[in-house]
Amino acid sequence: MLAAWGLFAAQLLTLAAVLVAIHLPVGNYLAWALGSPRDLFVERGIYRLVGVDPSREQSWPAYLRAILVFSLLGILAVYALQRMQALLPLSLGLPAVSEPLAFNTAISFVTNTNWQAYSPETTLGYTVQALGLAVQNFLSAAVGIAVAVALVRGFARRGSGTIGNFWVDLVRIVGRVLLPLSIIAALVLLAGGVVQNLDGFTTVTTLTGDTATVPGGPVASQEAIKLLGTNGGGFFNANSAHPFENPSAWTSLFEVVLFLAIPFSLPRAFGRLVGDTRQGFAIAATMAVLYLVALVAMTAFELAGSGGAPQAAGAAMEGKEARFGIGASTLYAASTTLTSTGSVNSMHDSFTALGGGVAILDMMLGEVAPGGVGSGLYGMLVLAVIAVFVAGLMVGRSPELLGKRIGPREMKLASLYILTTPTLVLAGVGLSFAIPALRDDILAHSTSNPGAHGFSEVLYAFTSAANNNGSAFAGLSADTPWLDAALGVAMLFGRFVPIVLVLALAGSLAAQEKVPVTSGTLPTHRPQFVGLLLGTTVIVTALTYLPALALGPIAEGLSS
């Protein structure tokens, strides 16, 4: 046990050292990429080609319409590619994807969820993987960052009716940030042994003399943006537990770095863009504390191995990748559920009841520690709005954040943001078990685990979908008409309703003039505010789900 904790601590310290080292340079680079007044030569050519005036900014409704139209076109394109798969080159002889599954998958990748209710290597050919899924990995991640920077502009600007230009933000984020970083990441993954080819299916003879079919594919290129963009959809069904996606222990740690790099660096960019880097450090510190507590809790539960079988075996190794062990598995699992990545290197369904419960709770926090690319930052800033409002009530003065007054309009938008995902999760789970026909279908076709664990599988699915995570308790078979439709709706509303509210909040803040700092202004860069923000995050998000958690992982954990 002591050796396992020692190995885990070494991995965690290595990860922390890397993230600290890249926080300033990557954060400063993001601030330049998002805030530079000059357009690059290639960018100007793209603007002329698509008819965009980069100097013309948009109001928040116009910015929102651009996002919605762009995302709708993305859904239609991914859906069409799947339905026409049999006619496309490099389809590997695979048939067209069924209508319900194509609908679910199109929404999944456009919303940055990457929920996969199918086995990728036997369902999708290379053209759909590359032109449909990989392209959306770039674009959906860029949309999240664009929304975050729009909200940051809302705090930074004075008396402005605009929050930027979505098309300019999109081009800059893809061209300046995601594409170059993905190329570097893909080269490192290639050096680590990740597959990159167009070989299709290869029949090989095994050591025992039997034959096996081995899939290939352009894996490294898709793996890089899958992780950097906190997308998470695996090229193979086993995701990063597959040796072709994640060949060794060091590539596993490198992949964790990839999907934490941008979310943990965005607070630095936020501080630079609002002109006060202390604010960025406060946000980053809040994220780091939540991350550390959740990670240590999950690791403790898994190393304790609660339950008869794990205790007899000496560890809770069922479903864990033997190459990595428990510590590396929990490091990956906590990181992927605290961001919106959804990639896995072990099967969360096989975690102990309370360890799996921590994975569910990580997503229920709103994925703000550090969250997805963009979505983590704007989610934490919404929680900061609520935190200063609560502080204002305590001291009896008008709440302010970064010089902007938090009034009734801002609080209504922030409150609706906080209520959106719990409503989707609890409504989806409730309907699944309250309607007899749906409950019978789930018990007959989706889960073979009765009782609390079966409930946890469904709770995890809706929590993952509504929070745009995409990971799953693998014991749930989700490719049924009800779950395809219900999870698709949860992903759609879980992504775009919060975006609507965040952009409306950005517009409201941008229109305000800044109020001067007085002796009664709450400092939002000190440890006192970090503590307040931590408390607000836990109370207004996690506690909403306590009854559902009590019926699932907590009940299962107490009974083992």
Residue 215 φ/ψ region, left for φ over 0, alpha for ψ in the -120 to 50 degree band, beta for the rest: beta
211-215 vs 404-405, strand pairing mode: unpaired
Q: Tell me which H or E stretch contains 351.
A: none
Give 86's contacts (C-beta < 8 A, 6+ positions apart): 94, 95, 96
pLDDT for residue 7: 87
For residue 552, being part of any structural domain is answered with: yes
End-to-end CA distance of the chain: 20
What single letter denotes the amino acid at residue 305? G
Residue 2 and residue 472: Cα distance in Å, rounded? Answer: 30
Tell me if 81 is assigned to some domain: no
- Any domain includes 379: yes
Residue 550: half-sphere exposure toward Cβ, Cα within 13 Å: 5
Measured distance CA(477)–CA(116) in Å, rounded = 10
Q: What token pair was written down for 550?
A: 């009590």
User: Is there a domain that residue 354 lies in?
Assistant: no
- CA 253 from chain center: how many Å? 18
The letter for the amino acid at 135 is V
Report which secondary-structure segment, H or E, holds 400.
Answer: strand 400-401
Structure tokens at 314: 């000496």
Tally of domains within the chain:
1
pLDDT at residue number 288 = 97
Is residue 297 one of the residues assigned to a domain?
Answer: no
Q: Is residue 412 part of a domain?
A: yes
DSSP, collapsed to helix, strand or coil, labels residue 513 as coil
In a domain, 460, yes or no: yes
Q: Structure tokens of 559?
A: 């009974």
pLDDT number for residue 479:
80
> Can you read off the two tokens belonging to residue 255?
């992949």
Exposed (0-12), middle (13-18) or buried (19+): which is 2, by Cβ within 10 Å?
A: exposed
277 vs 54, 99, 161, 513, CA distance in Å?
Answer: 27, 49, 25, 21
Residue among 129, 248, 253 nearest 193 (CA): 248
CB 178 within 8 A of CB 138: yes
pLDDT of residue 515: 87
Give the pair of three-digit tokens for residue 234.
């695996």
- Name the DSSP letter for residue 87: G
Which residue carries 């933000």 as its tokens? Answer: 169
Alpha helices in 396-450 (DSSP H): 408-434, 436-441
Quote the CA–CA distance of 430 and 433 in Å, as a whole number.
Answer: 5
Question: 463-501 in b/e burial notation, b at 16+ Cβ within 10 A?
Answer: bbbbbbbbbbbbbbebbbebbbebbbbbbbbbbbbbbbb
Query: Whole domain around residue 379: which residue ranges?
Result: 370-559
379 within 8 A of 367, measured Cβ to Cβ: yes
Which residues are registered as beta bridge partners of 212?
204
Please report whether residue 68 resides in a domain. Answer: no
- Tens place of pLDDT for every residue, the chain, 560 residues? 677 888 899 999 999 999 999 999 999 999 999 999 999 999 999 999 999 999 999 999 999 999 999 999 999 999 999 999 999 999 999 999 999 899 999 999 999 999 888 889 889 999 999 999 999 999 999 999 999 999 999 999 999 999 999 999 999 999 999 999 999 999 999 999 999 998 888 888 888 888 888 888 899 999 999 999 999 888 988 899 889 999 999 999 999 999 999 999 999 999 999 999 999 999 999 999 999 999 999 999 988 875 555 555 556 667 777 777 888 999 999 999 999 998 998 888 888 889 999 999 999 999 999 999 999 999 999 999 999 999 888 877 778 999 999 999 999 999 999 999 999 999 999 999 999 999 998 988 888 787 888 899 999 999 999 999 989 887 888 888 899 889 999 999 999 999 999 999 999 999 999 888 877 788 899 999 999 999 999 998 888 999 999 999 999 888 86
List the beta bridge partners of residue 401.
Answer: 404
H-assigned helices in 241-276: 249-274
